[in-house]
Structure 1
Amino acid sequence: MTGSAGMDRQHAAGSGNRKGHDDATQLRAYLHLRQAELERRLAEWVRVPGVLGMPEHVQDLRRSANWLAADFREAGFPVADVLATGESHALYAEWCAAPGAPTVLVYSHHDVRAAKAENWSLTAPFGPVIREGRLYGRGSSDAKGQVLAHIEAVRAHLRVTGGASPAVNLKFLVEGEEEGGSPHLATLLEEQAERLRADVVLFSDTLLWRADHPAVCMGLRGMLSVHLEVYGPERDVHSGAVSGTAPNPAFELGRLLGLMHHPDGRVAIPGFYDDVEPLPDDLRRAFGELPFSAEDWLARSGSGAITGEEGYTVPERLWLRPAVEATSLIAGDPLGISHAAVPAVASADLSFRIVPEQRPEKVAKQFEEWVAATIRPGFSFSLVPDLATAQLPYRTPAHPAVAALERAMAKGFRAERTGRMGNAGGGPAELLSRTLGVPVLFFGTGLVEDHWHDSDESASLDVLLNGALTLACFWDELATMQGIGDDGDGHLRQ
């Protein structure tokens, strides 16, 4: 890697030349001219309710993929195919007309989370509106806006370079099952292995730190979902008949959840931290350089308070430390007039966020053993870990394309320098890297204030344009770099 690092320094020294400045200025001017068209197309796509996991929206997922295929073709892509995956559809597009240049596979998704219209205050979930520079609607930021930023980047890149095709070889895989843990992605990668060969993957389903402070995401945590049920009476029993004598699983589930953390915020499951590595010094320093204040974070995240593991900063807790969250709790019948019964079952869905060296199957076993040892007599339980959709953590290795992305982000966001950050959530980055045998880089246009998975989701139009400019500059950067293209045998040249 010594030669690559030297190449990066030489390239960085010349990256501030007049031509680079002029290109960025032209790209920005062109993208601003197309802003109204971007708004129109994003609104049109948001109106397609491609909700994963709801039978009534299965056909909408296909419509969403078909809509995207048409948009890729309109942008000039010679290949844009819709592929069936489970009950959904993925989009594969490619434009590979640059022999010897790097080949980039861009990963993202077009499926969206379910939305309850009664919880949305600014618009209906699939009735997009623009307010104060933001486009509101389900999927506007996660992740349809991110995908359209890529398409706009290609248009701008071609317009400014005057080329008939991109200067690098571009492939896109936009799946339709990400919100369900990508259950069929591994099969799709295997079936489409030849088409998906690339030198690097660009993962575009992630966040920026702040709109005014770009930072390159260097990895994400893994994820394990677990469904826990605690059982009490043999059936729901009228509380007036048994109150004070019957085992109430709602209380026992609450007790278990309350015992899952020590007072200092550490997860109390024995062995949970056994495989957790010490914090990497380079990332800890980089995260410490990000502009952070509790007031800003609370205002943008809407989280109300800062909690968690003591002894670590908020960025470190988000990106370098493991965690567990309860994402749903159910006991009894919550609808209508109270049944006034001791419920037979109480359930919880939990999401474990894991870090390098932790394994989902080991965490699941540790949790099950802890529940078995902690639950009181009179109760029983069942615990089902979703290992089929579990995701391993991933960190981007040292690679010259990272420096190229940093330079592109500095141009795209008109910043003197860029920082480095992580992704607190999960995603199939490790699967993509392991299956395709190439490194994964991250670039997305989401912000914590975009309210992913919540009501009134929105995307900043300025950030989408800056993101498109970043990507257009990134393709230019990669095209001028030596030693990252295909050597003719499908092997990465470095």
Structure 2
Amino acid sequence: MTDVTTQAQPAESTGRAAGLERAEVALRFDSWVRTLVEWARIPSVSADPAHHGDVAASAEFFADALRSIGFPEVEVLGQGPYLPAVLARWPSGDPDAVRVVVYGHHDVQPADGEDRWTHPPFDPVVVDGVLHGRGVSDDKGNIALHLIGLQAHLAATGRTAPAVDLTLLVEGEEESGSPHIDELLALLAPRLDADVIVVSDTGIFAADTPSLCIGMRGLVSGELHVSGPTVDLHSGSFGGAVPNPLAELARLVAALHDEHGHVTVPGFYDGVDEPTAQERAATAALSFDEAGWLAGPAASRETWGEAGYSTLERIGARPTAEVNGIIGGYTGPGGKTIIPTDGHAKLSFRLVGRQDPAAVQRRVSEFFTELARNGVQVEMRWEGGGVAPLTTQLDHPATRAAQRALGAAFDTDRVLLTREGGSGPEADLVAALRAPMVFLGVMTSEDQIHAPNERAPLVLLQRGAEAVAHLWSELAALGRGGLSSDADRKAVANGG
């Protein structure tokens, strides 16, 4: 989960006060925070095999937390190629209830660079109303909202079961690119009937500007390998006479962009839709303090990117090519004058619009192969098939219901519609479940997602829990018959 961008629109009036839901969340909040702290102590880093046991422990912890609030059906899914996931279901009891599948993840990013953490990453602590620790935002904080939010919903409505048929799918590999999400969804397909999918792995534009995400970028990533001599060579005896793999690697990586920040891979922009004038105007109207963003969450000296687009447009509405790490040669103390055998660069590409992950992988591989000089071997090794970008249906009743739920929690009738720069398996979920999707998360770009000093302001967690409590009532009020978009109704009217 990263920054948020584009497309501001007012929500419909909620027509209701926060009322009982707010009181019920407040009543349980301190106890819930203690549960979140204990969960966040578990270093469930899916990218590190040494922590796969912790991923399993994290799944068991969350499963127990779900059982403790009354979920009648809870299962830890650990027998497969995937790391342990949690599946939980609480039927409404109404045969015509709206069927909701909530998706999130309990694995977390590595906490490398611990010397840059003000507080130990896996020893969460609350300081001045802010919870600090790895995973307290992404995504344990956002997914734990469904524990307290559901309790508040039940207490406020007097129900003994949710107003919707509620299913939670919380996976353990999202921070590793969800490499086995297809197998997991295929296994669970008979048990994931959905009228709407709710994803709690996004954020809002700012703490004082609630927003609903309407799109996430796709992602492909991998390693570029450049090989030269079969042994390290003395740079005095061989330097200048044979190709240097690290110099060649640097040249290839630098060739990904031109002087205007455009990605130079032929065909890379196929499927990228230009933002409309309305979208660009909406983005420009957002209250964005670029200087404050640079000095704060961006922690950078200057903006940079694709010419012709604003910073917010670059973050969410445009594709990217990024260098995540370079490895090779001698990096120990002192000098070692060699020409190394090989070098590697970790690369990632964010996708938007209708970009096809497989096509992007093929074109990038061809780009490096054709650009490489004789005397070195070049290979792009991809990490799985990647994930496609996704844009939700702006006119869908579920989208408007989520806006109303956020509006009630934040005491406003104006909830923005924005895009997010991050990526996840959302397109896979929509394809497998064949249902519309809405996003509901409450963290901001200031909360150091994926970085040292990840944090979660308690006030945002509290508002997020209230929004969850409202959402189940909002969706139930629509009913299954009310969950057709304008496009769906037009298709039916035209015989589609």
Q: TM-score under structure 1 normalisation?
A: 0.91
Q: Distance in 2 between matches of 1:108 and 1:334?
A: 39
- 2:85 corresponds to which of 65, 87, 90: 90
**1:282 Cα shift?**
4.9
Judge conservation of contact 2:224–2:346 (CA < 8 Å) in 1: yes
Task: Name the count of aligned residue pairs.
Answer: 473
Give the counterpart letter for 2:20 in structure 1.
Answer: Q
Q: Distance in 2 between matches of 1:113 and 1:338?
A: 33
Alignment pair present for 1:390 and 2:386? yes
Judge conservation of contact 1:193–1:436 (CA < 8 Å) in 2: yes
- 1:419 corresponds to which of 416, 434, 439: 416
Tell me the secondary structure at the aligned position of residue 170 of structure 2: strand
Provide the residue aligned with 1:344 in structure 2: 341
Provide the residue aligned with 1:437 in structure 2: 434
Tell me the secondary structure at the aligned position of residue 327 of structure 1: strand
Tell me the secondary structure at the aligned position of residue 185 of structure 2: helix
Q: Distance in 2 between matches of 1:93 and 1:485?
A: 25
Q: Distance in 2 between matches of 1:196 and 1:183?
A: 19
- Provide closer, same or farther for how the CA distance between residues 404 and 289 of structure 1 changes in structure 2, counting only shifts above 3 A: farther
Provide the residue aligned with 1:119 in structure 2: 115
> What are the residue-to-residue correspondences of 1:238-387 with 2, within 5 Å?
238-304=234-300, 305-386=302-383
Provide the residue aligned with 1:451 in structure 2: 448
Tell me the secondary structure at the aligned position of residue 179 of structure 1: helix
Provide the residue aligned with 2:144 in structure 1: 148
Tell me the secondary structure at the aligned position of residue 67 of structure 1: helix
Q: Distance in 1 between matches of 2:312 and 2:410?
A: 21
Alignment pair present for 1:194 and 2:181? no
Deviations 1:200-232 (A, max 9, x none): 101111122111101110011111112101122
Tell me the secondary structure at the aligned position of residue 131 of structure 2: strand
**1:44 Cα shift?**
0.3
**1:347 Cα shift?**
0.8
**1:116 Cα shift?**
2.7
- Provide closer, same or farther for how the CA distance between residues 443 and 338 of structure 1 changes in structure 2, counting only shifts above 3 A: farther
Judge conservation of contact 2:114–2:121 (CA < 8 Å) in 1: no
Question: Alpha carbon RMSD of aligned pairs, Å?
Answer: 2.2
**1:393 Cα shift?**
0.6
Give the counterpart letter for 2:81 in structure 1.
Answer: G
Judge conservation of contact 1:330–1:347 (CA < 8 Å) in 2: yes
Q: Distance in 1 between matches of 2:370 and 2:82?
A: 39
Q: Distance in 2 between matches of 1:391 and 1:223?
A: 5
Tell me the secondary structure at the aligned position of residue 398 of structure 2: helix
Q: Which structure ranks higher in relative contact order (CA pairs < 8 Å, sequence separation ≥ 6)?
A: 2
**1:297 Cα shift?**
2.1
Q: Distance in 2 between matches of 1:413 and 1:347?
A: 47
Judge conservation of contact 2:77–2:87 (CA < 8 Å) in 1: yes
Judge conservation of contact 1:103–1:486 (CA < 8 Å) in 2: no
Gapped regions of structure 2 (runs ≥ 5): 1-10
Provide the residue aligned with 2:465 in structure 1: 468
Alignment pair present for 1:234 and 2:230? yes
Deviations 1:423-449 (A, max 9, x none): 111111110001111111111122212
Give the counterpart letter for 2:407 in structure 1.
Answer: A
**Which range moved further: 71-80 or 30-39?**
30-39
**1:485 Cα shift?**
7.2
Give the counterpart letter for 2:72 in structure 1.
Answer: P
Deviations 1:407-436 (A, max 9, x none): 111111123411111111111111000111
Tell me the secondary structure at the aligned position of residue 236 of structure 2: helix
Judge conservation of contact 2:12–2:413 (CA < 8 Å) in 1: no
Give the counterpart letter for 1:94 in structure 2.
Answer: R
Gapped regions of structure 1 (runs ≥ 5): 1-10
Alignment pair present for 1:174 and 2:170? yes
Provide the residue aligned with 1:56 in structure 2: 50
Give the counterpart letter for 1:390 in structure 2.
Answer: G
